[in-house]
Amino acid sequence: MGKPTAGVTRRHFLKTVSIASAAAATGMMATQAHAAAEFTLKYANNLPATHPMNVRAKEMAAKIATESKGRIDFQVYPNNQLGNDTDTLGQVRSGAVDFFTLSPLILGTLVPAAQISGVGFAFKDYNQVWAAMDGELGAHVRKQIDAKSTVFAFEKIWDNGYRQITNSTRPINKPEDLKGMKLRVPPSPLWTSMFRAFDSAPASINFAEVYSALQTKIVEGQENPMAIISTAKLYEVQKFCSMTNHMWDGFWFLANKKSFERLPKDLQEIVTRNINEAGMKQRADVKALNDSLATEMKGKGLAFNDTDNEAFRAKLRSAGFYAEWHKKFGDEPWALLEKYTGKLA
């Protein structure tokens, strides 16, 4: 700090020095706090910061910092900040990213068995969803993930919700309305297979590129739960929303095994408990939001129509979709799925 210049009173100078010193000290404390984090953990996801996933993730990160007494700096990177889903899956496999929430169907590009929770029209309601995913079907999928990759999934899957079809061309009232429609689907063999069974023209595009693909008409439509149609503002580039509820979808909270194992056991417990607790809160938020948005989305200009699930389910059956995926997953996993859903084909 320089000597007082002519015309600057001594009192003013001392006041400036004390403010500057306090600021420096505060800055130093913040740096020290940051420096105190023994472990910096990066969690990436593909959803807007306003989606309940990120609201709960931020809250969870703060709890982990507090409960670990600052030893963990749990950093949340929403909205594809560290790359799109395909890129980030590679990063969590290598450990460049420590945690990543990913749909079981996109994870299917690495662990095919994980796609079983996304079979079209499988779960009739959330009672069936959570009985299966918190029960033997979820345990089966997590075992496959652990056996086949360098990542593992925490016990409580986070929610995405039931998916609806939006597009800019026509309402989808019956399966025939999907014929030839250029629809974006996430990169996953099952998603592509399902919309081919509907005779549409599915295009695999990562979520990071969906808004622009719809805006430039590379594709006519896409399918997602209402909370994503809203928070990603897809209503700005779509005209119709058909309530097909064609699939329940979730997000496995994935961790790189080596990254997690570097944590001492007490910190592993803090991270595990908070991720599962946040997942349970996020489930409640997502369901409430998905159930609440139709009126608001109508106000944004989306034209809504309901559909007859049975007609779409019958189309999948006649196209051989259920038989194809029963064969791909195998008799035992399929029987495990039907234990919760009832007979599907």
* Chain residues in the site for ligand X2X (CB under 6 A): 46, 103, 106, 160, 186, 207, 224, 228, 249
**Nearest alpha-carbon partner for 259 in 37, 33, 40, 56:** 40
Q: How far is the CB of 107 from ligand X2X (least distance, A)?
A: 10
Please, which residues have CB within 8 angstroms of residue 331's CB and are 6 or more apart in sequence?
none
Q: How far is the CB of 249 from ligand X2X (least distance, A)?
A: 6
Residue in the block written with tokens 């399918």: 223
Is 72 or 213 the residue whose CB approaches ligand X2X more closely?
213
Q: How far is the CB of 186 from ligand X2X (least distance, A)?
A: 4
Residues facing 41 on adjacent strands: 74
Q: Could you tell me if 319 and 194 are in contact, meaning their C-beta atoms sit under 8 angstroms apart?
A: no
Which tokens is 212 given? 């622009």
Is 51 or 73 the residue whose CB approaches ligand X2X more closely?
51
Is 64 or 254 the residue whose CB approaches ligand X2X more closely?
254
Q: How far is the CB of 116 from ligand X2X (least distance, A)?
A: 15
Q: How far is the CB of 50 from ligand X2X (least distance, A)?
A: 14
Q: Which amino acid is at 266?
A: D
Is 160 or 245 the residue whose CB approaches ligand X2X more closely?
160
Which tokens is 132 given? 């299966």
Q: Name the burial class of residue 250, with classes exposed (0-12), middle (13-18) and buried (19+) by CB atoms within 10 angstroms of its CB.
A: buried
Q: How far apart are CA 204 and CA 185, in angstroms?
A: 5
Q: How far apart are CA 140 and CA 335, in angstroms?
A: 12
Is 129 or 263 the residue whose CB approaches ligand X2X more closely?
129
Sign, CA torsion 296/299/301/304: positive
Is 46 or 256 the residue whose CB approaches ligand X2X more closely?
46
Q: How far is the CB of 273 from ligand X2X (least distance, A)?
A: 25
Q: How far is the CB of 255 from ligand X2X (least distance, A)?
A: 18
Helix H or strand E encompassing 266: helix 265-292
The distance between the two most distant Cα atoms of the chain, rounded to a whole number of Å, is 92
Is 228 or 316 the residue whose CB approaches ligand X2X more closely?
228
